[in-house]
Structure 1
Amino acid sequence: MPYWEKLFSTGYRGSDGNLTISSSQSSAIVSILSAGTFFGALGAAPMGDFIGRRWGLIFSTGVFTLGVIFQTVATAIPLFLAGRFFAGFGVGLISALIPLYQSETAPKWIRGFIVGSYQFAITVGLLLAAVVNNATHLRDDTGSYRIPIAVQFAWAIVLVVGMLLLPETPRYMIKRNDYQGAVRSLARLRHLSENDPALLAELAEIQANHEYELDLGSAGYIECFKGNLGKRLLTGCFLQGLQQLTGINFIFYYGTQFFKNSGFKNEFVISLITSCVNVGSTIPGLYAIDKWGRRPVLLVGAIGMTVSQLLVAVLGTTTTSQDDLGNIIVHNQPAQQAAIAFICIYIFFFAASWGPIAWVVTGEIFPLKVRAKSLSMTTATNWLLNWALSFATPYLVNYGPGNANLQSKIFFIWFGCCFLCIAFVYTMIYETKGLTLEEVDRLYCEVSSARKSVGWKPTTTWAEEKEISNKLVNKRQIAEHGESHEPKIAEE
């Protein structure tokens, strides 16, 4: 935004001679939010386990709001940076706690849609941001940036009010040994009586699975890296990391500047179009998650992203060049328009697959005893890569001393990462469609290969096994007791 660049500039001038910020300042401002989110995501686990998922979200929103206040009142880079960090820290907490809350409250038949709606809300936020930015970016006053930033207060209020109305998750209540609290919570969420047999059966299964997991060992951070749990953590971290490495945030963080460099006069309108594609494409993805399953949707999405990024890279590098000042010269305008079209196709495949499903899968593959810890680490991986890419991108793309000046060539990097996504889905992603969280836990215990997970059905439940185990223990105790105390029993 021209006014923002002049106001926050420390004297650096761009190739056009106008006051702006340097690549290092741009990297710091964009990436510090992601740095805050990384630490926030790691802090979500102790908070979520100590004060609960519900109150954790309310506190996190307060941290985010503090960051928004700092950014709104800022007129120089230092306070703006502080605001970005605190807003990021709050977002990091929220980004781990919301999928956790959704996974632990949603019924199995719609869990994919519910958790995927988290990503849908992100796309709506990006669209609203593009609309507001487009409306204010030419204002010659502080409203150019203060209006878009202050709009975030509205969503913070919505989230706090919503969490005050909603109950704590029943699985967290079981984790805290509050069975009656879990009954009340699940009854509200399912709109059933507290004595309903289906409700009590669901709670019995949750409790039996949790007790089984606790019997296997402690629930500390070290436990998350061991054996079967370590495999799940590796899956979640790779999934979230690869989601960032597909290049999606390059388009939404630096898209306007890239489109400008590619010769488009109204880069904000292009950004608005890509945001609309992002929102619209998420809707069929939400339908496909529970209809077709996690594996096929992720696989098709990875193939579509790979082809799209390759074509964008080829079109961008073969039809543009640069002058001595680093300005982009477009030799074939239709080819550039085709590149923008393939960027939109890439966004479609991402938004319909890897965007929402990464949050769905990481929210459902961990057992209750380590769910908050493992989910916070997978979310932190997402934000760590987010930070690294947002920090490095200006140096990779921009022209000038100390910069790689890749321009459109950066899409070859995204192409290679998307290709890795195909192999990852085939070898690592288990199919969890239509299973409860407790059944997903059994799936990982019984099936060693992700390729064999398709079509798996549980043959028994944790509650049934607990009942059988209790009967066997009782029989053994009776047998031992009768054998060693037979005279005493007869006398009594």
Structure 2
Amino acid sequence: MAEATVPADRPVRRRRINLYAYACAFLASMTSVLLGYDIGVMSGAIIFIKKDLKITDVQVEIIAGILNVFSLIGALAAGRTSDWIGRRYTIVLAGAIFFVGAVVMGLAPSYAWLMVGRFVAGVGVGYALMIAPVYTAELAPASTRGFLTSFPEVFINAGILFGYVSNYAFAKLPLRVGWRLMLGVGALPSVLIALGVLAMPESPRWLVMQGRLDDAKRVLERTSDTREEAEVRLADIKAVAGVVEEGGVVVSVPKKHHGEGVWMELFIRPAPHVRRILLAAVGIHFFQQASGIDSVVLYSPRVFDKAGFSKSASLLATVAVGFTKTTFILVATFTLDRFGRRPLLLTSYAAMILTLCGLGWSLTVIGNHHSGRVEWAVGLAVASILGYVATFSIGAGPITWVYTSEIFPLRLRAQGASIGVVVNRVTSGAISMSFLSLSKAVTIGGAFFIYAGVAVAAWVFFCTYLPETKGKTLEQAEKLFHGKEEAAAAGEVQLQEHGKDGA
């Protein structure tokens, strides 16, 4: 299918900041606060939960990481749900489910009820993680898609920071009240999300799949940099969705699409380029979590305790971790569309390797030194943690979500993105629920050396496998994964179509 292009005789207009697209991306990405807040608040809350409910270290690992496992249900269901009811109402559903989970956790009288709340909240998180980047990528113009699609990671980091602040604010309350307030306050962002979504339009690509071309055109005109770009985007979407026009008149629109047959196309009979896209999505999500980010964020109070900090100082230090992480994600947000995905991703992982090695070395020295506090090692440990979360935030954090939302074909995008979320949450759950056991087996310093090895493998994978998508439309980004045979076949189809047009 020939790509739509802007005619050469049309005047080129200066790009403007599309505040409407920015506002929509901002509101949609607020769903990611839910995951961030849970990660941040649980890092401190588990200290008080363990003491109040008299649970073991194994139970601590489970309650800290089980939300990632439960989120698989939401992530797997979100793709089909968003194809059925639309991206917009799936965002509302994510917020509503998490609200119920947060309330149950805040009122939990026992470990069992706490697990029930974790289950409900986890389903909501799974929905939120999948839908925010997909909606934003489908709405955003190509010139700022990287910037806007990184918003979910910005809000994850903001949520982590809020969670840390909540820990510090409620830590001095009575034991039975403090941790319950920490968890229950997480219900508040859900209310804001439900209100904000009322001002958001539906995804134009979803509207085209439903045959609602006029609605899609209106949304594209409001979210594109220029009217010409809106026409090009609509033409590309119609071509991919199978809309047939003759003489400028629509004679056929696709049947309403609710995700039927997508799993077959993804796993049973995938085209070669779909298989390559799926491997890229699975790889980038796996390595993001397997390089240890949740261990650093979730267990940072324990790491600071190992470095010799008091309990109060450890909680305050985690606020510094959250502030650093949030600050540097903003750096990535404003540079993604300038420098591209690959340079930031490779730079991020290279720096993560160095900081993980520094953290592993410093904690090993501290663990083996029993005659007093080793000041230089403590300083190196703190600097390495701050450096790690900073370098993670400039590449590995946001680009994972941006890249996955860009590369899948339109028909497969929602459920393909949900596969990435599933891999992300499975890996995150495995890392967060095994860190304490791994630390006991190979020492806490050894655990971070293992994560450094994973980061090396990630760097090699990204360097050799992932193409650059900066400045490409979503339809063009998909074509980067076509092999020579597929590209040649597509060229033959285009020649045939041009021949028909000429005839």
- The verdict on a shared fold, with TM-score over 0.5 as the criterion, is yes
Instruction: Please state whether the residue corresponding to 2:471 is helix, strand or coil.
Output: coil
Report the number of matched residues. 438
* Structure 1 residue 222, shift from structure 2 partner: 2.3
Q: Does 1:48 align with 2:82?
A: yes
* Structure 1 residue 358, shift from structure 2 partner: 0.5
Match for residue 350 of structure 2 among 273, 296, 303:
303
Q: Retained in 2: the 8 A contact 1:39–1:92?
A: yes
Look up the equivalent residue of 2:462 and give its one-letter code. V
Question: Equivalent residue for 1:205?
Answer: 236
* Structure 1 residue 184, shift from structure 2 partner: 2.6
Question: Equivalent residue for 2:461?
Answer: 424
Question: Equivalent residue for 2:201?
Answer: 167
Look up the equivalent residue of 1:104 and give its one-letter code. E
Q: Retained in 2: the 8 A contact 1:244–1:385?
A: yes
Question: Equivalent residue for 2:380?
Answer: 338
In structure 2, distance between residues paired with 1:314 and 1:475: 69
RMSD of aligned C-alpha atoms?
A: 2.7
Instruction: Please state whether the residue corresponding to 1:314 is helix, strand or coil.
Output: helix
* Structure 1 residue 219, shift from structure 2 partner: 4.7
Q: Does 1:84 align with 2:115?
A: no
In structure 2, distance between residues paired with 1:295 and 1:83: 39
Q: Retained in 2: the 8 A contact 1:320–1:331?
A: no
Inter-CA distance 222–329: structure 2 relative to 1 (3 Å threshold): farther
Instruction: Please state whether the residue corresponding to 1:138 is helix, strand or coil.
Output: coil
* Structure 1 residue 44, shift from structure 2 partner: 0.8
Instruction: Please state whether the residue corresponding to 2:114 is helix, strand or coil.
Output: helix
* Structure 1 residue 185, shift from structure 2 partner: 2.5
Post-superposition Cα deviations, 1:87-122, rounded to whole Å, max 9, x if no partner, equal 011000110011110110011111101111110111
Q: Retained in 2: the 8 A contact 1:8–1:75?
A: no
Match for residue 248 of structure 1 among 293, 314, 319:
293
* Of 100-109 and 21-30, the range deviating more from structure 2: 21-30
* Of 256-265 and 76-85, the range deviating more from structure 2: 256-265
In structure 1, distance between residues paired with 2:115 and 2:481: 43
List aligned pairs for 1:29-428, cutoff 5 A: 29-190=63-224, 196-211=227-242, 219-225=261-267, 226=270, 227-265=272-310, 266-321=313-368, 331-398=373-440, 404=441, 406-428=443-465
The TM-score with structure 2 as length reference comes to: 0.82
Inter-CA distance 474–353: structure 2 relative to 1 (3 Å threshold): closer
* Structure 1 residue 148, shift from structure 2 partner: 2.0
In structure 1, distance between residues paired with 2:372 and 2:294: 24
Inter-CA distance 188–472: structure 2 relative to 1 (3 Å threshold): same
In structure 2, distance between residues paired with 1:243 and 1:29: 22
In structure 1, distance between residues paired with 2:50 and 2:445: 24
Q: Retained in 1: the 8 A contact 2:99–2:190?
A: yes
Match for residue 442 of structure 1 among 465, 468, 479:
479
Q: Retained in 2: the 8 A contact 1:320–1:332?
A: no
Post-superposition Cα deviations, 1:422-472, rounded to whole Å, max 9, x if no partner, equal 1011111110001110111232236799xxxxxxxx9xx99xx87x75564
In structure 2, distance between residues paired with 1:28 and 1:302: 28
Of the two, which has the highest radius of gyration? 1
In structure 2, distance between residues paired with 1:123 and 1:295: 21
* Structure 1 residue 264, shift from structure 2 partner: 1.2
Q: Retained in 2: the 8 A contact 1:298–1:353?
A: yes
Look up the equivalent residue of 1:390 and give its one-letter code. S
Post-superposition Cα deviations, 1:465-489, rounded to whole Å, max 9, x if no partner, equal 87x755644677xxxxxxxxxxxxx
In structure 1, distance between residues paired with 2:350 and 2:183: 36
In structure 2, distance between residues paired with 1:360 and 1:292: 14
Q: Retained in 1: the 8 A contact 2:129–2:421?
A: yes
Look up the equivalent residue of 2:315 and give its one-letter code. F
* Structure 1 residue 241, shift from structure 2 partner: 0.6
In structure 2, distance between residues paired with 1:318 and 1:191: 55
* Structure 1 residue 293, shift from structure 2 partner: 0.6
Inter-CA distance 197–73: structure 2 relative to 1 (3 Å threshold): same
Inter-CA distance 314–198: structure 2 relative to 1 (3 Å threshold): closer
In structure 1, distance between residues paired with 2:414 and 2:56: 39
Instruction: Please state whether the residue corresponding to 1:319 is helix, strand or coil.
Output: helix
Q: Retained in 2: the 8 A contact 1:26–1:394?
A: no
In structure 2, distance between residues paired with 1:471 and 1:271: 61
Question: Equivalent residue for 2:20?
Answer: none
* Structure 1 residue 346, shift from structure 2 partner: 1.4
Instruction: Please state whether the residue corresponding to 2:201 is helix, strand or coil.
Output: coil
In structure 2, distance between residues paired with 1:273 and 1:240: 26
In structure 1, distance between residues paired with 2:485 and 2:78: 30
Question: Equivalent residue for 2:15?
Answer: none
Instruction: Please state whether the residue corresponding to 1:375 is helix, strand or coil.
Output: helix
* Of 159-168 and 375-384, the range deviating more from structure 2: 159-168
Look up the equivalent residue of 1:180 and give its one-letter code. D
Question: Equivalent residue for 2:25?
Answer: none
In structure 1, distance between residues paired with 2:496 and 2:231: 20
Inter-CA distance 247–7: structure 2 relative to 1 (3 Å threshold): same
* Structure 1 residue 303, shift from structure 2 partner: 0.7
Inter-CA distance 140–272: structure 2 relative to 1 (3 Å threshold): same
Question: Equivalent residue for 1:18?
Answer: none
Instruction: Please state whether the residue corresponding to 2:368 is helix, strand or coil.
Output: strand
* Structure 1 residue 391, shift from structure 2 partner: 1.4
Q: Retained in 2: the 8 A contact 1:41–1:376?
A: yes
Aligned identity (percent) is 27
